[in-house]
Homo-oligomer: A and B are copies of this chain.
Amino acid sequence: MRHDPVHDLIERTLGGERVPLARAISEVENDAPGAIAILDACFGRSGRAYRVGITGPPGAGKSTLVARLAQEYRRLGETVAIVAVDPTSPFSGGALLGDRVRMGELAGDEGVFIRSMATRGSLGGLAVHTAQVCDVLDAAGFGRILIETVGVGQSELEVAQTADTTVVVLVPESGDAVQAMKAGLMEIGDLFVINKADREGADRAAFAVRSALELRPVRSPWETPVLQTVAAKGTGVADLVAGLEGHLEYLRRHGGLEHRRRQRLEQRLRDLLRDQLWQALLGRVPESEWKASVEALVERRATPHQVALRIAGAAREATGSKR
Binding site for B on A (CB under 8 A): 36, 39-40, 43-44, 47, 57-59, 86-92, 94, 119, 121, 123-124, 126, 150-158, 173-174, 176, 178-184, 186-187, 215-217, 258, 261-262, 265-266, 268-269, 271-274, 276-278, 280-281, 293-294, 297-298, 300, 303-309, 311-312, 316, 319-320, 323
Contacts and interface: CB of A to CB of B under 8 A. Distances in A.
A309 B94 CA distance: 36
B152 A154 contact: no
A265 B298 contact: yes
A210 to B, nearest CB: 15
A84 to B, nearest CB: 11
Given A184-B89, A277-B281, A303-B44, A294 B262 contact: yes
B183 A47 contact: no
Contacts of A94: 178, 181-182
Contacts of A87: 154, 182-184
B215 A40 contact: no
Given A182-B94, A215-B91, A40 B303 contact: yes
A312 B276 contact: yes
Contacts of A90: 187, 217
Contacts of A59: 174, 176, 179
